[in-house]
Structure 1
Amino acid sequence: MGTHLDRAKAHFGRDTSGMLEGGRYALIHTRSLEFDDLRPYVRGDDVRDIDWKATARSGHTLVKRFVTEKHHKIVVVADAGRNAAAPAPSGEPKGEVAANLIGAMGLITMRRSDEIGMVFGDVRGCREIRLRRGETHVEYLLHRFVEHASGRPAASDVVTQLEWVSRHHRHPRLLFVVSDEPDVDDRLTDVVGRLTGRHDVLWAMVADAPAVGGAGDESDGYDVRDGAFVIGRDLGPRVIEAYQKAERERRQRLSAFLTANGIPHAVVRGSASIRTALSAMTEVHARAR
């Protein structure tokens, strides 16, 4: 594998079985008789595919999966703007965590022979890489994302990328959004409403490191908007407490908004939590029948 995919695999691992099963817009191909493996039964599966012997041995209802059972057309929608340079809570640059998220999704698609493309950019506009399959293509996606995010990007604005997708992708897709934690405003509400009417959406958000430290924290907080440092220890405990309360409420509003729109989502604090986040999101997606 290439450098970027190797880095993603180091965090995500090799096992991608059972991920991205089902969903509203999985494309059902003419199924071959080539057996692949077994997976847990999900409501809506054809009961004729249940492997009764394996079910009896395991105590769980298992169905046979065939090589060409279902495939997706996946579009990664990635914020490659200035916020990628800020640190995540893990201490990694947010752009590095985002690249590992995209790489992990690429690893899932490779095993399933899904097609994957990408729309990425910043507030100035978007670039698009068309849908294709395979390891070389996924490595190319990662190279282009890292190249843009580590160059001289403009301000982050994932709504710009979402609006591009809403205008240019008329056929149903599985959208995998990778961004920071956006504010819920009229622009976001409008574009999300348009996208969820046509596409399935998964949303992975890379968390910001705190903009201010704790009252007794000797470290400096980091403001992702302009790169300035905020000296937490000079603000006093009341100001810090008010900021932390506002941040909790903002995140709760965002989570409630995504849930109300039927979007499986997760906040990722570092590359070490990517597998847990993707597993949870794809499990919810599999039940969206």
Structure 2
Amino acid sequence: MATDTDTSTGDPGAAWAPGTTGTARGASRLARVRGRLELPTLRRATGLLDGRHRSVFIGHGQDFDDLSPYRPGDDVTDIDWKSSARAGQPVIKRYQRESNLPLILAVDTGRTMAAQAPDGDDKRALALAVAEIFGYLARMRGDPVSLVAGDAERVVDRPARAGAEHAEMILALLARRLDALTTGGTGQERLAAGAPASRLSAVLERVSTWHRRRSLVVLITDTSHPDARTDPAVVDWLRRLSAQHELIAIQVADDVALAPGRGRRRDVELAGEVPAFLREDKALAARLDAQERARRAQVASLLDSRRIEHVTVTSEAVMMDQIAELLARQRLVLNRRRR
């Protein structure tokens, strides 16, 4: 049950405004990413993406170039220990990259994405921020970026191209799709009538059938998905896509459905707010929390069964660290497969 805090109380952190959340209207989304991240963090994330070329394009574009002193943010797995011992300081191996690994942003735009994250942020803001980070890293490396965003009613697709202008275009398109989930101004937002449900199988099918070149697919959804119970076809498409592409999943965390003592709340699946006698029922809240934990465990088990590395993003403050940890785990997996 995806939930959202009632915004009629005037809480500015709960509202979604694509012109202000994610970027200022008219400003560059990619420039905003660069401005809010520290250089060592960016270096580490970029280095982790470099490792994917070594794994995917074995012998085709990752020839040894030279040795370089280790700097904060470099991947420690690139350290050449023998050379470091001779030099008396940490030294890393650098490689020449001749091939680009396309990036595909596969984004869930179903109505549960309009709910609230545990820290009070709108889940759409976190999902867009994740897309911005990967778009920025791809632009830094010269990798082409494409977008597949969809739900139960519609899937939009933009082909892979390099360059900042193209990345800005697909991020703006994604922001518009997410914005369409709600109506009303800031502080008065409500779920739009007929807001579609999620259908990740449709998104993954489009990626698999329209994007044949091996790519890094970043699946952005929430902790309710992928759900084999409500979308049985997603199991087969996860299997196909994990074999066809390099696939990772980033899930945006949901706030708790019932929270005694935390005030007025509403569920994005309901027309009105949750009644007080329900939201203050501690026994009911505990039962629902147990059900939610079990359901999320099933979602995680599905991803684990396909050996898909995944992470749950909980807030913008720790998001970059969580993404870097995910990329590090995925790189280790790829290195093991290479051996």
Shorter chain as normaliser: what TM range?
0.7 to 0.9
CA distance in 1, matches of 2:325, 2:57: 18
> Aligned match of 2:278 in 224, 234, 249?
234
What SS class does the counterpart of residue 229 from structure 1 fall into? coil
Q: Which amino acid in 2 is paired with 1:144?
A: L
Alignment partner, residue 247 of structure 2? 201
Give the AA of the match of 2:110: G
* 1:161 paired residue number: 203
Q: Is residue 286 of structure 2 the alignment partner of residue 255 of structure 1?
A: no
CA distance in 2, matches of 1:69, 1:35: 18
More displaced 10-residue stretch of structure 1: 148-157 or 51-60: 51-60
**Matching of residues 20-35 of structure 1 within 5 Å:** 20-23=49-52, 24-26=55-57, 28-29=60-61
Q: 2-side partners of 1:227 and 1:37: how far apart?
A: 59
Which of 172, 175, 178 is equivalent to 1:149? 178
- In 2, the alpha carbon distance for the partners of 1:37 and 1:60 equals 6
Query: Partners in 1 of 2:205 and 2:88 — Cα distance?
Result: 46
TM-align CA RMSD: 2.9
Residue identity matched to 1:108: L
Deviations 1:86-128 (A, max 9, x none): 2211212111111100011112112222221110122112111
| Matched residues, number | 281
TM-score (norm 2): 0.73
Shift, 1:219, TM fit: 1.6
Deviations 1:200-243 (A, max 9, x none): 111111111222113xx142333233454224653522211110
Change (3 A) 1:218 1:64: closer
What corresponds to 2:23 in structure 1?
Answer: none
Give deviations 1:135-189, integer Å, cap 9, x for gaps.
Answer: 2222112101001111255333222211211222233221101111212332221
Question: Deviations for 1:13-59, whole angstroms, at most 9, x for unmatched residues?
Answer: 444222213344347337595888854464xx8xxx94854465576
CA distance in 2: counterparts of 1:253 and 1:275, whole angstroms: 26
Question: What TM-score comes out, normalization by structure 1 length?
Answer: 0.84
Structure 2 counterpart SS, 1:131: strand
**CA distance in 1 between partners of 2:307 and 2:268 (Å):** 28
Q: Secondary structure at the match of 1:161?
A: helix
**Structure 1: gaps spanning 5 or more residues:** none
- Give the distance between the partners of 1:283 and 1:151, measured in 2 at CA: 34
